[in-house]
Structure 1
Amino acid sequence: MVNLRKSLNRLPHLIAFEAASRKLNFTRAAEELGVSRVSVSRQIAELEESLGARLFNREHRRLSLTQAGRALEAEVNPALHQIADALKSVAGAAKGTRLSVTTTSAFATYWLMPRLVDFSNRFPRIELDLVVADRMLDLAAEGINVAVRYSATEPREGRVRPLLQEKVFPVVSPRYAARTGLTQASDLLQEHLLHLSGIYRPGARWPSWFRSNGLEPPPEGSGVVVNTYINMLQAAIAGQGVGLAGNPLVDPYLADGSLIRVPGCKEVVRDHYYLMDMTRDREDAQIFCDWIMEQAGKAVG
């Protein structure tokens, strides 16, 4: 009988090899694995030494598999994926009826979570695993069943339905000490603005909004710069400045008066929130998707 512990003592190295052979780039393999390029390069070198065979041709800015590397790829890579699928299958069976749902932190905080009480009351047998992430997850690799994604284009994974479309406009707290009468778009040039930085696309930022209103935008030094949508909204609610926010996420604060729309300002239509069902006719996923579409219809209505 084969001693698996002895034979597979290079399993982490094989995982590095699988990524490197697929990407044909040590840097991209390292990014996928969440390690350094040096780590991947070292693991490949150690694997080659233990096998006594060179697996990659390392040319200038180019990586290719040797004959031994192609042979190893053909046998090992499918086996690793088979093992991963088996583990995922067992883990999924152990979870029973739990349905994994992912969305961004802002959508989860301001739109989805306040409504989940209704879902739990109506469908108590369906348990949810809410995966909140602002980075673009690999839905298949993470075992995600349903996703809500904000995108300029319709995603190509799973069964996709447009859920909601965002419109952005200036909002302010009644507690904010305005420098002007705040009755028209040009007044905002003299106000304390809350600027978004980081991953957000131009349409979520003040310069784009000002230009759509026919105005030259002020510099970011005219206000506070924050790096998350949640922090921006909280700062606006606290009266620290004027925020550029959008429905549906800001709707609860407009409804309770925590924030008000600045009058005389044009709203800008932006991207869609898309609902993605990654399952194959799974009943609990269908129930959740129908429920969230119903909630979106109420929000629009």
Structure 2
Amino acid sequence: MIPSQNGMNLYHVHEAQMIRRMPPFGPLVAFDAVARHRSFTRAADELGVTQSAISHQVRRLEEFFGTQLLIRRNPGVELSDDGAKLEGELGPLLNEIAGLGPSLRNRTARQTLRLGAGSSLAGWWLVRRLRSFRHFNSEIEIDFRLVESEAVGEPPLDVRILWTTLAESRATPLQQPLLRERIFPVCAPSLLPHGMPLSDPTGLLDLPLIQKGHPPEGEWSWAYWFGKLGLKRTEPRGLLLGDMGLCLAAAVEGAGVAIGRSLLVADAISDGRLVPALANVPHVLSNKVHIARWSQDRTEDPHTKVLVNWLAQAAEDTDRALSAGSYSL
């Protein structure tokens, strides 16, 4: 036992002295990108996340240091005095860290791509197709990670599939649009007469409903759909779930009619677990778009290009097959 001094074990004194209060790494990277570009938009493009994610990360860093680092203008941003000081000290440190990645990858000749996506897209569409990708691209290993947020650098990914706004879905050197999904009601065949889609939308009024969101908004609300279909029911009631995957799982179990997205429901319709609830459905597009974003050091990587092009083609093939009523993978 190390002797004590003033009643405190000297080991714990030494341990306390060694613990550093480190700023969070992801927000440091986000701040560095904004500081270099003087732009949230270009920083988001570089890091493969949305502008709102960058803004959130910078605010986390400002809260950590207890000072304003950026002065937000319209347009653009400026550095505060403290922000300029941090930029001057942070840049060289991140450059040194960034230099470690390429050298370590070259030593191991890594051909593994770290791919991230949300749980709903992964479970209902993507994972089932990765076997096909590996069959035709055996030289590329996929290390898949579930990603439910856009925290910068958490986890480190080579390619990330995001569901983002139309304004942020344009093609850039670091991202490629994949698909804008169609939206339509789906349910288990057991809920419908003879398991067939309803020819008269008023039949929805007699069925249990499932909604996503707290509260549901826009095309994800039954109020929107009832207005679209000319149905008079001002306050649709039903099961309210916060996750699209849960909504579809409940629909498969016969809990009600859910508002589905074309990529997510295609395989379930092909398997007979779900059917479109309506024979004639209005053409409604999601207000968000699936995109693939990749890290800066993967810009010229041929394996990344192969993966992103495959993702775009797989999404297009799925949507085309669903539209044509042919659901083969």
Measure, in 1, the Cα distance between the counterparts of 2:235 and 2:142: 44
The one-letter code of the counterpart of 2:157 is I
- Conserved 8 A contact 2:175-2:291: yes
**Per-residue CA shift, 1:235-278, capped at 9, x if unaligned?**
00000111111212101111121111123433412243233454
Aligned to 1:169: 184
Are 1:12 and 2:26 an aligned pair? no
Shift of 1:224: 0.7
Note the residue ranges of structure 1 that are not aligned, 5 or more in a row. Answer: 1-7, 45-54, 57-63
Return the alpha-carbon distance in structure 1 between the equivalents of residues 55 and 293 of structure 2. Answer: 29
SS, match of residue 100 in structure 1: strand
Cα distance 1:70–1:101, how it changes in 2: closer, same or farther (>3 A)? closer
Counterpart of 1:282 (choices 298, 301, 308) is: 301
> Which among 285, 291, 294 is matched to residue 313 of structure 2?
294
Q: Give the RMSD, CA atoms, in angstroms.
A: 4.1
CA distance in 2, matches of 1:272, 1:17: 25
Quick one: which of 87, 91, 95 aligns to 1:82? 95
**1:272 to 2:289 alignment:** yes
1:211 counterpart = 2:236 = no
Q: Is the 8 A contact 2:57 2:151 kept in 1?
A: no
Q: Secondary structure at the match of 2:190?
A: coil
Name the CA shift for 1:199/1:246 in 2 (closer, same or farther; >3 Å): same
- What SS does structure 2 have at the residue aligned with 1:134? coil
TM-score, scaled to structure 2: 0.65
Give the AA of the match of 1:272: V
Which residue of the other structure, out of 232, 240, 263, is the alignment partner of 1:225? Answer: 240
Query: Within 5 Å, which residues of 2 pair with 1:149-164?
Result: 149-153=162-166, 154-155=169-170, 157-164=172-179
3-state secondary structure, aligned to 1:248: helix
Alignment size in residue pairs: 267
Give the equivalent residue in structure 2 for 1:248: 263
How big is each residue's C-alpha offset from its partner over 1:144-169, in whole Å with a ceiling of 9 and x where there is no partner?
Answer: 33233223312465344432231111
**How big is the shift at 1:106?**
1.4
2:137 maps to a residue whose letter is F
What SS does the aligned partner of 1:175 have? helix
- Alpha-carbon spacing, 1:135–1:209, altered in 2? closer, same or farther (3 Å): farther
Letter paired with 2:210? L
Residue 129 of structure 2: which of 115, 139, 142 is its match? 115
Q: Structure 1 residues 88, 243: CA separation in 2 closer, same or farther (over 3 Å shift)?
A: same
CA drift of 1:182 comes to: 4.3
- Scaled by the length of structure 1, the TM-score of the pair is 0.71
Task: Judge conservation of contact 2:174–2:299 (CA < 8 Å) in 1.
Answer: no
The structure-2 alpha-carbon separation of the partners of 1:31 and 1:40, relative to structure 1 and needing over 3 Å to count, comes to farther
Give the residue type in structure 2 aligned to 1:144.
L
Query: What residue is the counterpart of 1:61 in the other structure?
Result: none
Distance change >3 Å, CA 190–CA 245, structure 1 → 2: same
Q: Which residue of 2 aligns with 1:187?
A: 203
Shift in alpha-carbon separation, 1:30–1:80, aligned structure 2, 3 A = farther
Contact persistence 1:29–1:40 (CA under 8 A): no
Match of 1:125 among 130, 139, 143: 139
CA contact (8 A) 1:21 1:65 kept: no
> Helix, strand or coil for the counterpart of 1:250?
helix
The partner residue of 1:144 within 157, 171, 187 is 157
| Cα distance between partner residues in 1 of 2:23 and 2:59 | 14
One-letter amino acid of the structure 1 residue matched with residue 22 of structure 2: P
State the alpha-carbon separation in 1 of the partners of residues 62 and 85 from structure 2: 21
CA shift for structure 1 position 230:
0.6
The alpha carbon displacement at 1:298 in A equals: 2.8
Unaligned runs of 5+ in 2: 1-17, 36-52, 70-78, 322-329
Partner of 1:32: 57
Deviation at 1:104, TM superposition (A): 2.1
Are the counterparts in 2 of residues 162 and 274 from structure 1 also a CA contact under 8 Å? yes
